[in-house]
Amino acid sequence: MLRIGILGAAGIAPQAIIRPASRRDDVVIAAVASRSEQSAIAYGQANAIPAAYGSYQALLDDDSIDLVYNALPASEHARWSIAALESGKHVLCEKPIAMNAAEAEEMASAAARTGRRLIEAFHDRYHPLSEYLLGVRTSGELGQLLSLDAAFTGSVPFDPASIRHDPALGGGALMDLGCYPVHWVRFLVGEEPEVVTASYSPNPMGADETIEAMLRFPSGVEARVAASMAGKDTFRPSLVVEGTRGRLEVDNPLLPHRGHSVRITTNGVLRTLTIGGAETYDYQLDAVVKAILSREPLPTESEDFVANMTTIDAIYRAAGLHRGRA
């Protein structure tokens, strides 16, 4: 039985790991930690978690915990993920993995040094849809790849008290939403890009409320990535891939279990389809559990999360947005 502890009484945890764990008989959510014992106890009671700790270190000192789910703000990911690894725990860390590539490299080094797994929680990468898209890409059906357009617009109204808008805590459209489009284009092209241009519009705290960048890959493929928190009642993740022989369009590659569509046009013929499956988070947890047992590498750890943060850093530099820790 794999025993999981949650760092942070986070709103994402029920859908990301608590409910997926409840659908399995080989894992259990055994503990939660918050900065206050009262908050941890209340969260534990609300989610049927038996142990509640009033500090993150107290959870890491619990030798019965095998895997830590780090749901803290991005500004705390490096510190507490490394501490968890050094405490002998595996870590599933929410995206983005860190505040910058330098922190991500420190985290990857800590995982290698301790022999424990550190996995970035890009849950969508583990859904069958992602493997299907990769199969279309590598099959040659679209011909030579020319360009990609990946975007994520979400309604995240400005709130100065929210970590999602505070650049010091890892807030901003690129970190919160745009890290997904960056990941989509990187894994589909299979190369690491350079940033050609980037621009943003700030929120009142100086974080990027909207951001857009043009990337170029070594093979010559170009990609546009964009993210915006300014949409009103909007949730739209999208991906378009253009090749010499065809076009691939995907609505909602992020949460396909909530409804999505795939449209492939080749030789003037349009095919529309969906890829069945459970929730993305179930696939992610299943992959993590199997990887811990098998020691097989996963597509969202080590070099991958360092490379994703490297691209994010480069986009911010190209846009002229200094976040203080990049």
Residue 55 neighbours by CB distance under 10 Å: 14
pTM of the model: 0.97
CB 198 within 8 A of CB 211: yes
Determine the pLDDT at residue 231: 78
pLDDT at 324: 58
pLDDT in tens, 76-107: 999 999 999 999 999 999 999 999 999 999 99
- Per-residue pLDDT tens for 145-194? 999 999 999 999 999 999 999 999 999 999 999 999 999 999 999 999 99
Q: Which domains does the chain have, with CATH numbers?
A: 2-121 (3.40.50.720), 124-319 (3.30.360.10)
Q: Label residue 197 by pLDDT band (50, 70, 90).
A: very high
Query: What would the pLDDT profile of 21-74 be if each residue is shown by its tens digit?
Result: 999 999 999 999 999 999 999 999 999 999 999 999 999 999 999 999 999 999
- Confidence at residue 326, expressed as pLDDT on a 0 to 100 scale: 46
pLDDT class of 233 with cuts at 50, 70, 90: confident
Give me the mean pLDDT over the 98-119 stretch: 98
Token reading at 241: 């891939």
Q: Would strands 246-251 and 261-266 be described as parallel, antiparallel, or unpaired?
A: antiparallel
Q: Please, are residues 96 and 172 in contact by the beta-carbon 8 Å criterion?
A: no
Judged by average pLDDT, the poorest of 6-15, 144-153, 225-234 is 225-234
Task: State how far the Cα of 13 lies from the Cα of 93, in Å rounded to an integer.
Answer: 11
**Residue 322: per-residue pLDDT:** 85
Mean pLDDT of 268-295: 97
